[in-house]
Amino acid sequence: MSDLREGDAVWYYDELRQRHDAIVTAVHGAPSVEWMPCVNLLFTIKDPARRDTYGAQIQRESSVQHWKQTVDPNEDDASMTGRCYRLVTGIEGF
């Protein structure tokens, strides 16, 4: 199990399963052996049309589930749905 805090880097997978580098802005609960909490997060938009004088625009997502809560336990991670996050380290105790 990994400790999860505001400011941590995660990978966010949008509804099209496109990966974005993101920062956790809120954690809803404490991780346990069987469960990872939902998070709020922030990431930059990669679309060149969505830039302004400050640079790339940002997008926020809330109540995003951990990817393991979106997969069928009898399948591999290819069954992962979008709108979920993964820890960047790749070393997840859950």
User: 32-56 pLDDT, tens per residue?
Assistant: 888 899 999 999 998 889 998 999 9
pTM: 0.81
List Cα–Cα distances, 13 to 32, 54, 61, in angstroms: 22, 24, 11
Residue 94 pLDDT: 38
* Mean pLDDT, all residues of the chain: 85
Residue 33 pLDDT: 80
C-alpha triplet 19, 83, 90: angle, nearest 5°: 50
For residues 80 and 71, the answer to whether their CB atoms sit within 8 Å is: yes
Residue 79 pLDDT: 66
Q: What is the mean pLDDT of residues 4-32?
A: 93
Gap between the Cα atoms of 46 and 37, Å rounded: 27
Q: What is the mean pLDDT of residues 56-80?
A: 81
Residue 31 pLDDT: 84
